[in-house]
Amino acid sequence: MKILNSCNFCKKFCKEFKEFALQGNVFELAIGIIIGTAFANVVKSLVEDIITPPFGLLLGGVDFRDLTVEMHNFVYQDQPPVVIRYGKFIQELIYLLIIGLVLFFIIKSMNKLHGLAIKRQLEEGMMKKQELSNEVKVLLEIRDILIKQTPVIDEIML
């Protein structure tokens, strides 16, 4: 009996997971992750292969990947020294700054586009308010005709 219950549980779980996985949001998220990973690899290559080599050249031909500090192991003399790779850390900081700047510009652009869209919606709303409906136009014509047909009160009083 327990086996049947667990099979029913598995079937229900698989059905719910299938419904979840086939929603549009999951596919959009997966595509975003794939594109984000590819972008991260491009930026990483940009930092490691294009940006840091000129800085290393300016610093006397230093390769940032080789910038390390070796700490000799005083307790266990037969063990290799501990290596702190601060050059790699500097590369990762540059990588983080570039990603941060790109995200900043993307969000800034999205906010600007959102502001323009809201402004356009407000302008369209004002245009709709300025445009009169056919009923209102007919009523205004009737008013104008009535004004022309009725004598002015001052003429009647004289």
Q: Which amino acid belongs to residue 15?
A: K
Closest CA to 44 of 100, 81, 114, 99: 99
Strands (E), the chain: 69-71, 82-84
Separation CA 70–CA 84 (nearest Å): 6
What is the reported pLDDT for 108? 92
Looking at residues 14-42, what average pLDDT do you find?
82
- Pair 91, 43: CB distance under 8 Å: no
**Residue holding tokens 């299938």?**
18
**Whole-prediction pTM value?**
0.54
